[in-house]
Structures are given as C-alpha cells and as structure tokens.
Amino acid sequence: MPLLVMKFGGTSVADLARIENAAKKVQKEVERGYDVIVIVSAMSGETNKLVGFVEGTSKLYDAREYDAVVASGENVTAGLMALRLQEMGVPARSWQGWQVPIQTTAQHGSARFVDIPRANIDAKFKEGFKVAVVAGFQGVSPEGRITTLGRGGSDTTAVAFAAAFGAERCDIYTDVDGVYTTDPRVSSKARKLEKIAFEEMLELASLGAKVLQTRSVELAMRYKVRLRVLSSFEDTDETSGTLVCDEEEIMESKVVSGVAFSREEAKITLFTIEDRPGVASAIFGPLADAGVNVDMIVQNISEKDYDDAHPGAVTDMTFSCPINQVDRARKAMEDAKAAGKIGYDELIVDTDVAKVSVVGIGMRSHAGVAAKMFNALSAENINIKVISTSEIKISVLIDRKYMELAVQALHDAFDLDKA
C-alpha cells in the first residue's frame, strides 16, 4: 500500500468539530487507497495553558517534568482523532511517542530525533489498521523519559515519519492554503505559489515566515521528503496548496520567489573596540555561549578619533539578534568586558528595527538583484542600516516603521504578483 503522512496543526484540531473535519480528510485519503500516518498537535491554546500550569507551579521547574506535562496536549488530540475515525468506520489506533517508540536525545524541551523504528506501526498496518494517529512534538529519551521537540515540533515529527516510512508525500494542514510570495496581511498583491524549492522555503522559514517550522524544512531537504502545505478549512484535491520540493521539480524559477520579514529584531553596536586579530572571536564566542542567535554582522571604522585613550586602530562592531535575546547579549558583553576579554566604550541597543529579505534560487544565475532591491528601497526613502547576503538571499535591517512599505515596494519591484 502507498503511504501518506498528514499533519494537522492546533487550529485544525481546535475542537471536536474541527477534529471531525480533519478526520474526514483522512478518510478520503484512505478511500483513495493509502495507509495513513496522522501527526497531530495539541488543540489550539492547549500547550500555552499547560506551560502556564508548569510555570505557575514552579518557576525553576524540572525540565523532565515540564516535558511530561506539556506533551499531554498532543496525547489527548491523538486519542480523540482515533476515536472519531473509528466512529466513521476507519480502522485507526493512536500512538504516543513512547509507544512507537520515537527515540530522541535527552535535551528536554528541545530534543532531536535519533531513530523512528517502523516495526510496531508496520505490524498494525499488517493487522488491517489503515491509520496510525501519532502524537506530535514528543519522543522518549535514552533514559525512558518523555521528551519534547520545541515549538513547531509537530511539523518536524511529520517530516521525520515521512522519511522513516518512505511516504509518498507529507501533507501539512494548517490555517492557510499554501505558501505565499509574502504575508497577504501586509501586501494585498501576495500570490500563492504552486511550488517552492526546499532551499527557498528554508530561507523564508528562518527569516520569519511562519508557515513551516525551520527544522521540518531542514529535515525534508536532507531526506528529499516532498511537502505540501494546504488548508484544513477548504475542500482540497491533489493540486491544492503549495508543494515544497527539490529544485529539479520546478521547471523555471523566478529570480525572486518571496519577500520575508521579521519585526522581532534588535541591532546592537559595540563602539571603539580594538581592531586586532581575535577580537571577533572574543565577541561572538561569549554570545554563542549565552545562547544568543546572532544574524547580521557589520564591522566598520570607528567614528572615534585616535587619541591617548585609543592609541591603536579601533573599530565598531554591529550585529543583530532576536529582540528577546537582547538582555542575554548585553550581559554576555558586559561580563566579557569585566573579564578583560574585550574592551569597548559604549554598547548601544536599537530595538526599533525590522529585517526584510528577498529570497530566490534564481538569484544564483541572475545579476542585479541587489541593485534592484536597493533602488526600490531608495525610491521610498527607506534607509538601510545593515546588509547581509547569501547565495539565494539578501536581507536588510531598516527602521521598523517602514517595514510594511518596504515589503510592498519589493514585492512590486520583483513583480511577485505575476505568475
């Protein structure tokens, strides 16, 4: 039998009526001849409620008990989905992570997959069951404790099962009907993409697009798992949604496929540091140790004049990081300075910035993308604070108040509203 993996997010299973709606989509695939592995999230809002219970009980909680509590949300959904399918005449059985068993590392709250043995689920399919409903977001550590994979972990669970079982495809059902050229709430001209390459989707996910979790796209790209993003709330067929696939499946890519953005950015500048070998390591080593996710980096000549206080060459260092990591970054730099590892005159934080990026695998073979991007921003009188690039991405840091204007201008400049 061909096998399909179907994943339903929290909004898709928010109540019994939506679970029934999702079950009907599963039933349709069974009628088409598939064995189906269904990965479910907790009901919408349930995980936040469970996290609140933990934090309300213990501020310095044991991570193992945290995982035991928050994983229960998916267990409830899996059981309810299996019951609904059984009521519809579809042979189904629910599975918690430890029953598969989904083997993970012991990093509670952010575990990673080690192995997904097929034997137990394959045995149930051979007995005549048509659907295995698996609780997403969870696994079991080498010590036998429940683990969780971090927010968005159900997407990753779905892709991992598709890879382990050689699924024909992994369908991710959510509250949007596909991947768009940008957020439709920001640009009314946003267009749904029929296909997008793994690399493009990975960049968009990492840059702020919240359709898919970044780890799930990484896994899909590594194991060549064809992903399809589609809506739980619309009638769908095999042409619905957006297919995330290998670059070879796309006949010809546009130069730019999408515009991503993130409001949750901060810019940090260290003024007047020594310009010497090893200074970058002395800065970014402590930041890494503190768990700060540094993104864009610029080193420039300091505005400070050389004087008795600064007899040697000096420079300024600017970098960006998520806004919720600013306090950690500041403490890491202050501790490094106090320990004599680095010296600087001033540390300035700007939290009123946003990151806007253009992404496209076509950028590899086309010149002039940066020029067109910068011209479009200049025409709107938007000043660029920091720039970073990769083979298929250009990102800029700008004042947050201009973010939506920048997204719209770039969407127009690259004609993303046209197929």
What are the tens digits of pLDDT across the range 52-111? Answer: 999 999 888 999 999 999 999 999 999 999 999 999 999 999 999 999 999 999 999 989
pLDDT given for residue 303 in this prediction: 55
Which residues make beta-bridge pairs with 266? 321
Tokens of 180: 């768009």
The three-state secondary structure class of 178 is: coil
Q: Render 209-233 in DSSP notation, one character per residue.
A: --SS-HHHHHHHHHHT--EEEEETT
Tokens of 382: 């938007």
Residue 109 CB contacts under 8 Å (≥ 6 apart), including other chains: 63, 66, 67, 148, 150
Alpha helical stretches, state H, 131-213: 153-165, 198-206
pLDDT in tens, 392-418: 999 999 999 999 999 999 999 999 998
Nearest to 416 by CA among 81, 103, 182: 182
121's enclosing H/E stretch is helix 119-127
CA 177 from chain centre, in angstroms, equals 17
CA 205 from chain centre, in angstroms, equals 5
The structural domains of the chain, ordered by start, are 3-175 (3.40.1160.10), 249-419 (3.30.2130.10)
pLDDT given for residue 309 in this prediction: 52
Most distant CA pair in the chain, distance: 84
pLDDT given for residue 307 in this prediction: 52
pLDDT given for residue 252 in this prediction: 65
416 within 8 A of 191, measured Cβ to Cβ: yes
CA–CA dist 416, 358 (Å, integer): 11
pLDDT given for residue 208 in this prediction: 62
CA–CA dist 395, 388 (Å, integer): 5
Q: Which residues in the chain show pLDDT less than 50?
A: 305-306, 310
- Strand pairing category for 314-322 and 297-301: antiparallel
pLDDT given for residue 277 in this prediction: 87
Alpha helical stretches, state H, 224-340: 279-289, 326-338
5's enclosing H/E stretch is strand 3-8
pLDDT given for residue 410 in this prediction: 96
CA–CA dist 219, 215 (Å, integer): 6
* 164 Rama class: left (phi>0) / alpha (psi -120 to 50) / beta: alpha
Q: In three state form, how does the secondary structure of 27-76 look?
A: HHHHHCCCEEEEEECCCCCHHHHHHHHHHHHCCCCCHHHHHHHHCHHHHH
